Amino acid sequence: MLKVHLTRHAVERLFERFPKHKRFKPRIIANIVESVIRDGKVVEDGNEIKISTSNYTLCCNLSNDKLVVKTIMRTKEMGKSYRRKLTYGKKSEWKVIMVENMEKIERWCDQLKRLREVCSICGLTREQVEITWCKIHGFNVCFLCCPSVGGYSSVCKGCNFDVVHVGIDTKLEETIYY
């Protein structure tokens, strides 16, 4: 049995790369890590081990029969030289895997979920103003900071804060006479 220890950095990197429409839960994180280790290809470089599938790459250290996952990356973001090495990687032999620090991962997930409720520019919370995910930069932004980061461009079509590309009804309900 292989014991796996995830670092906070690895959980934060997975949070950044995780689809925003899916729930970010500790059991889902453990399942992702377990499936990458079980089904992935292993490339060893001295003391460092990289385990890759088509979606994710885990950068790890193996010490005292414990695999410490330092960071998680997307495989397609890796360089061509690594992807060439990956063709010579060997299939993972680990089949029984246990993630040790589930309590810490749960606490880190709760802290990271709160980051989705804060504007990355000004720090206002969802209780104070409306916040949405910025399609241009890839972080949360409030409607006050949206124009300062390039809001209202053609990329913003369909955004909650986009007032330029929304079909605004220009008909006046009442005529005002002066």
- Tell me, what's the pLDDT at 176? 59
End-to-end CA distance of the chain, in Å?
Answer: 83
CA distance 16 to 159: 20
Burial class (CB in 10 A: 0-12, 13-18, 19+), 118: middle
CA distance 8 to 68: 11
- Tell me, what's the pLDDT at 170? 46
CA distance 62 to 48: 7
Integer CA distances (angstroms), 16 to 52, 59, 115, 163, in order: 18, 16, 11, 28
Domains observed in the chain? 2-115 (3.30.2310), 119-178 (no CATH)
Which positions of the chain have pLDDT values less than 70? 20-21, 115-116, 163-178
- Tell me, what's the pLDDT at 161? 75
Contact (CB, 8 A) for 51 and 60: yes
- Tell me, what's the pLDDT at 172? 47
